[in-house]
Amino acid sequence: MIYDFITNMYFTGMTHGGMIHLSRAKEPEVFRGFWLFFCISKYLKEEIYMEYEISNRLSGVHGSMIRELFKLGASKDIISFGGGNPSAETFPCKEIEEIAAKGLGENPVSLLQYGLSEGYTPLRDTMKKYLEKKEGFDFENNELFIVSGGQQCADLTTKALVNEGDVVLTEEPAFVGCLNTFRSYGAKLVGIPMEQDGMNINALEEALKANPDAKLLYTIPSFQNPTGITTSLEKRKKVYELCCKYDIAILEDNPYGELRFAGENVPTIKSMDTEGRVIYAGSFSKVMAPAFRLGFLVFNKSLTGPLTVAKQCTDVHSTVLFQYICNEYINNYDFDKHLEDSRKVYEHKCNLMMECMKKEFHPSVTFGHPEGGLFVMAFLPEGMDSAPFVREAINRGVLSVPGAAFLADESQKSNGFRLNYSTPSDEQIVKGIEILGKLTYEWIK
Amino acid sequence: MIYDFITNMYFTGMTHGGMIHLSRAKEPEVFRGFWLFFCISKYLKEEIYMEYEISNRLSGVHGSMIRELFKLGASKDIISFGGGNPSAETFPCKEIEEIAAKGLGENPVSLLQYGLSEGYTPLRDTMKKYLEKKEGFDFENNELFIVSGGQQCADLTTKALVNEGDVVLTEEPAFVGCLNTFRSYGAKLVGIPMEQDGMNINALEEALKANPDAKLLYTIPSFQNPTGITTSLEKRKKVYELCCKYDIAILEDNPYGELRFAGENVPTIKSMDTEGRVIYAGSFSKVMAPAFRLGFLVFNKSLTGPLTVAKQCTDVHSTVLFQYICNEYINNYDFDKHLEDSRKVYEHKCNLMMECMKKEFHPSVTFGHPEGGLFVMAFLPEGMDSAPFVREAINRGVLSVPGAAFLADESQKSNGFRLNYSTPSDEQIVKGIEILGKLTYEWIK
């Protein structure tokens, strides 16, 4: 700043703030010496700043392209299909306000004082009952912790199980947030290509054979981020069998599970788990509110100790007030109806986007029809790179995320681009897809 | 369970639930075969449970003894000086309730939707102004993030800077929560003994010489946890100089800084930082409420990228509502008076405990007088081990934490035990110290 100030002063020949009474016109030599001194001191000052050496584990991880795009989407007059925000109209705002007032009015200290690392006991009990009934989970052999969002499920699991250099197998494309978590512990990612009904099973078995020491398979079987694909029951069984055969743990990430608006329910992989092999990650972000930063982790009891330690070392415990609000809401309000209403919102937005895509996109652009969740991925014809397409679309005012962001090796090309339908308004969906559609016709000759 | 059920059946000679119509008395041979079968299948069943291999980084970390003691303190009729909870009477409960109602009433979506990884911008700006004015921090070269509690300051810093096997230097004894964070990244801890005015400076220089590649020095210069010691200005300067000389970063942890109730303010090490070498960790846990899980990290701008990535990989962002509450409270309420009132509570409790200790403890038990914060450490005569003393005290209904919990090498012995004065009531302080005092007379012959 001093440098800029002096330089500025030098070129304008003016003083500033009355502190230095010199000007180029009046005493040029003196001033030039003065200026030189400041330039040198700036140089010296920069020289003595500490140079940090970033840890190996983080050196290879880039900031989330999506969260950077999110800022772009928020700051410019742009139609954003780039984010992954749940639809704000589904947040039970009034009820949250009501329960917060009740809790903070009646018993503030218990909601504001340090809580347990494992989570708020009443919410843990509620979720156990809920998952026992709804998903058939076995809490004789499993434990449930409340953690700080779905992201922390991946963070704690990786911290506890994955050494630097260990292989993590993952669907490809896959949720980049968790890929970055694995990378941030020095894991080596091996991608298993996705098909319309889940991972390519042969590729999975090949990868398991080729990586006998792989620690974890990462999957979002329902309404996958980024593709919107739901893994079929048959493939879920096959995935579980193979992981048993090759003795590898599964991280089943199910943040969108409650948001099914079409098709038949498919049992979770965790519900098939007789060997304590599946670590199940759930989230309150899509059924309550993302800024609660609450999720839950279900795992074989043998992991209770290490995961407690992992949680203590990371953020001690998750916010108690929001755990209280979730618990009160699930038990004393109409949670089922809330979910039903939310699903309708997502169904409407998804169907609208799909209709527009069918109408506007060049016929050689392919895409599936999600049965739930927040995302769909569209694919340009084989061999095309979606990155320049997405860039050009941004120039025209529409944001989406290039598929390469979701690859195990981000330097590879992808012909896919991810579209989020939960955040934009109906008008934005119609207009944005129209713009993208025109671009597909220009792009595909 | 099947095993227990059958075994139980075998010994009682009864059937259960009408499923199996055999009894030892009637058909002993058949039943014995049956029982054997179940025992084998139990064996087989246990065999096929997955055996998890815990990561190297977590294998050496034990659960926080304090958080386990915390449960003991909460569950039994015991006087607990063991926890580290701030005094609940200082929480601005009414104001928090009021601001929460305002925020959730007026603009709920912005407080419930995903937020920025760096933190809620208005609170970041508020804290920058606050720290600029109060501590003289330089935000031309530094950046400030809001994170999920003081613990996460250590977590993100270690994630970004410390490789497995790297040395972290630390005051000894030191806050075990952060020691465990360093351990959880595979760091090697080297302890620098504490004196009444801060680290032994010769020992620090020796350690810096012996570990030229050490990455970080960890210190709580004000009202240290667990000792209550405040590092003198002279020693702070010396610590900073040595870290410059040996080119190592400093993690200055200052969760209790606002809780000075005696003596003169001593400038933070960060305020002397001309080289961008000090990473400063602050917390809202002791000035607002711990269950907010909010803290802040101040660091040289060159670390902005890596720390953003670290935060994104860990929990994406911290809760927005509590960031909003902190910001509103600091700007629109009488934050200074709130701090003043809080300090009085701590002053009173500290003075009461010190009076009682002087009166009740055997004269050869030594301790300093904290000028702020939540803790004091008392020391049995040199050579004695505090662990059996603390165990016996628990038998008599008083909980404290043995000093060994705070050592770089926990297997070493310590003659110290940590006492917390912020959580117990006045009556508990008087009675608890009386019990401990009697025990010191029995223990020291």
Looking at residues B338-346, what average pLDDT do you find? 97
ipTM for the predicted complex comes to 0.88
Strand order in the sheet with B167-172: B142-147, B295-300, B278-283, B249-253, B216-219, B167-172, B188-195, B198-199
Which residue does chain A place closest to B65, by CA atoms? Answer: A309
pLDDT at A143 over 50: yes
Task: Kindly determine whether residue A48 and residue B274, on different chains, have CB atoms separated by under 8 Å.
Answer: yes
Looking at residues A38-53, what average pLDDT do you find? 65
Select the residue of A48, A67, A159 nearest B58 (Cβ to Cβ): A159
Cβ–Cβ under 8 Å, residues B177 and B151: yes
Looking at residues A369-383, what average pLDDT do you find? 97
Which residue does chain B place closest to A69, by CA atoms? Answer: B116
Q: Express each pLDDT in B35-84 by its tens digit.
A: 555 555 555 555 578 999 999 999 878 766 666 666 666 656 899 999 88
Burial class (CB in 10 A: 0-12, 13-18, 19+), A264: exposed
Looking at residues A264-270, what average pLDDT do you find? 97
Select the residue of B54, B183, B275 nearest A306 (Cβ to Cβ): B54
Q: Express each pLDDT in A205-216 by its tens digit.
A: 999 999 999 999
DSSP-derived secondary structure for B364-403: T-EE---SBSSEEEEE-STT--HHHHHHHHHHTTEE-EEG
Report residue B240 as tokens.
């900073």
CATH number of the domain at B60-89+336-443, out of 3.30.420.40, 3.90.1150.10, 3.40.50.1700, 3.40.50.2300? 3.90.1150.10
Query: CA–CA separation, A298 vs A303, rounded Å?
Result: 10
Q: How far is B140 from chain A (nearest CA, A)?
A: 8
What pLDDT, on the 0 to 100 scale, is given for residue B166? 97
pLDDT at A184 over 90: yes
Block residue for tokens 């009021």: B98
Nearest to A30 by CA among A40, A20, A39, A22: A22
Quick one: pLDDT band at residue A83, thresholds 50, 70, 90?
confident
Q: Express each pLDDT in B275-296 by its tens digit.
A: 999 999 999 999 999 999 999 9
Query: CA–CA separation, B280 vs B300, rounded Å?
Result: 10
What pLDDT, on the 0 to 100 scale, is given for residue A59? 87
What pLDDT, on the 0 to 100 scale, is given for residue B398? 95
Report residue B214 as tokens.
């050490």
Cβ–Cβ under 8 Å, residues A278 and A230: no
Higher pLDDT, B345 or B36: B345
Task: Kindly determine whether residue A55 and residue B289, on different chains, have CB atoms separated by under 8 Å.
Answer: no
Q: How far is B442 from chain A (nearest CA, A)?
A: 35
Looking at residues A33-38, what average pLDDT do you find? 56
Task: Kindly determine whether residue B276 and residue A50, on different chains, have CB atoms separated by under 8 Å.
Answer: yes
CATH domain A106-333 topology: Aspartate Aminotransferase; domain 2 (3.40.640)
CATH domain B107-333 topology: Aspartate Aminotransferase; domain 2 (3.40.640)
Task: Kindly determine whether residue A151 and residue B316, on different chains, have CB atoms separated by under 8 Å.
Answer: yes
Block residue for tokens 């972000």: A285
What pLDDT, on the 0 to 100 scale, is given for residue B76? 64
Residues sharing a CB contact under 8 Å with residue A95, sequence separation 6 or more, in sequence order: A329, A333
Cβ–Cβ under 8 Å, residues B66 and B84: yes
Looking at residues A59-77, what average pLDDT do you find? 68
Q: Express each pLDDT in B312-324 by its tens digit.
A: 999 999 999 999 9
Higher pLDDT, A410 or B110: B110
What pLDDT, on the 0 to 100 scale, is given for residue A67? 61
Looking at mean pLDDT, say which of A48-62, B22-36, B171-185 comes out highest: B171-185
Q: Express each pLDDT in A215-258 by its tens digit.
A: 999 999 999 999 999 999 999 999 999 999 999 999 999 999 99
Quick one: pLDDT band at residue A76, thresholds 50, 70, 90?
low
pLDDT at B34 over 60: no
Supply the mean pLDDT for chain A: 90
Specify the CATH superfamily of domain A62-89+336-443. Aspartate Aminotransferase, domain 1 (3.90.1150.10)
The 10 Å CB-count burial string (b at 16+, else e) for A429-439 is: bbbbbeebbeb
What pLDDT, on the 0 to 100 scale, is given for residue A49? 85
| Beta bridge partners of residue A192, listed in sequence order | A171
Give the start-to-end residue ranges of the domains of chain B: 2-47, 60-89+336-443, 107-333
Quick one: pLDDT band at residue A14, thresholds 50, 70, 90?
very low
Cβ–Cβ under 8 Å, residues A387 and A405: no
What pLDDT, on the 0 to 100 scale, is given for residue A73? 61
What pLDDT, on the 0 to 100 scale, is given for residue B320? 98
pLDDT at B15 over 60: no
DSSP-derived secondary structure for A380-442: -STT--HHHHHHHHHHTTEE-EEGGGGSSSTTS--SEEEEE-SSS-HHHHHHHHHHHHHHHHH
Task: Kindly determine whether residue A275 and residue B93, on different chains, have CB atoms separated by under 8 Å.
Answer: no
The phi and psi torsions of B220 (rounded to 5 degrees) equal -115, 95
What pLDDT, on the 0 to 100 scale, is given for residue B11? 31
pLDDT at B21 over 50: no
Please report residues of A whose CB lies closer than 8 A to that of B97: 101, 104-105, 108
Which residue does chain A place closest to B247, by CA atoms? Answer: A50
Query: CA–CA separation, B83 vs B418, rounded Å?
Result: 9
What pLDDT, on the 0 to 100 scale, is given for residue B83? 86
DSSP-derived secondary structure for B189-254: EEEEEEETTEE-HHHHHHHHHH-TT--EEEE--SS-TTT-----HHHHHHHHHHHHHTT-EEEEE-
What pLDDT, on the 0 to 100 scale, is given for residue A19? 33
What pLDDT, on the 0 to 100 scale, is given for residue B268? 98
pLDDT at A7 over 50: no
pLDDT at A17 over 70: no
Residues sharing a CB contact under 8 Å with residue A318, sequence separation 6 or more, in sequence order: A115, A119, A146, A147, A148, A293, A294, B293
Task: Kindly determine whether residue A321 and residue B290, on different chains, have CB atoms separated by under 8 Å.
Answer: no
Nearest to B150 by CA among B256, B299, B66: B256
Q: Express each pLDDT in B376-431 by its tens digit.
A: 999 999 999 999 999 999 999 999 999 999 999 988 999 999 999 999 999 999 99
